[in-house]
Amino acid sequence: MTALVTIEKKGGILALTLNRADKKNALTHEMYAALADGLDAAHADPDIRVVYITGSGDAFTAGNDLADFQSDEETAEEKPVTRFLRTLSTADKPIVAAVNGLAIGVGVTMLLHCDLVYAGKSATFQLPFVNLGLVPEAASSLLLPHLVGRAKAAELFLLGTRFGAGEAEAMGIVAATFDDDSLQAEATHRAEALAIKAPNAVRITKSLMRNDPESTRARMEEESTHFAAQLQSAEVKEAISAFFDKRAPDFSKAV
């Protein structure tokens, strides 16, 4: 397990912590692979009842590391990010997420596949895919409209503006918010309570509440096709250049 994702097994809980605080836990291919490995390990271990995901420092995750994705030369049939999202979306054991600060892009869309999501009151969320010349992923273009309604989902996706923990709770993206300094204790307490419940009942209940797996998988594949194409587009090249130049992107000639 890479040092950029730490793993701790305590009782019936497997905790996966994004550990790249100096980069706001921006996710690299290596980190995606480590997260997928952790989820696979939890699935294979009968003693693990709950997976717990959080971030180090003052961020959950700033989303994809743009430099890492821009230099992507991955030739494997299934890329680490694809494997992680597939493993997350099909996990049979419950997943608890504690959002400790910034959650951008996949830092939000992955929450749609978690079962219990809690956030610190200062946490902020953003879905800036269109801002970066990209499209949503993780089947979020299917799941988010179902959760918050089409009109609100369109606003979140198309405008890509940030929103706070209170709004995320009101929309149902998170179950509850807590003071920042008590978030981990509160979320851990709930993970511990879940870990001692009847495991088969928990697993079946999760399965019954799961969105249609065929539709989710099909949408994830469709999004991935468009995402990969957009990564090679002039729009993304301009968006990433603007990001690193700390300027507003100019898409007027990005065709």
Do 20 and 4 touch, CB atoms closer than 8 A?
Answer: yes
Using CA atoms in the order 241, 245, 246, 248, what is the torsion angle rounded to 10 degrees?
-50
Per-residue pLDDT tens over the stretch 221-255: 999 999 989 988 999 999 989 988 999 999 987 66
Distance CA 243, CA 60 (A): 20
Res 42: pLDDT = 97
Res 76: pLDDT = 55
Do 120 and 101 touch, CB atoms closer than 8 A?
Answer: yes
Res 66: pLDDT = 84
Q: CATH number of the domain at 5-179+198-202, out of 3.30.1120.10, 3.40.50.300, 3.90.226.10, 3.90.180.10?
A: 3.90.226.10
Using CA atoms in the order 70, 242, 235, 168, what is the torsion angle rounded to 10 degrees?
90
Task: State both tokens at 253.
Answer: 């000639």
Res 78: pLDDT = 80
Distance CA 85, CA 89 (A): 6
Res 73: pLDDT = 58
Amino acid identity, position 155? E
Residue 10's DSSP bridge partners are 13
Distance CA 78, CA 84 (A): 10
Residue 116's DSSP bridge partners are 96
Per-residue pLDDT tens over the stretch 140-152: 999 999 999 999 9
Distance CA 221, CA 219 (A): 5
Q: Which ranges of the chain have pLDDT less than 50?
A: 1
Global confidence as pTM? 0.94
Task: State both tokens at 160.
Answer: 């890509």
Domain coordinates in residue numbering, the chain: 5-179+198-202
Tell me which H or E stretch contains 108: helix 106-109
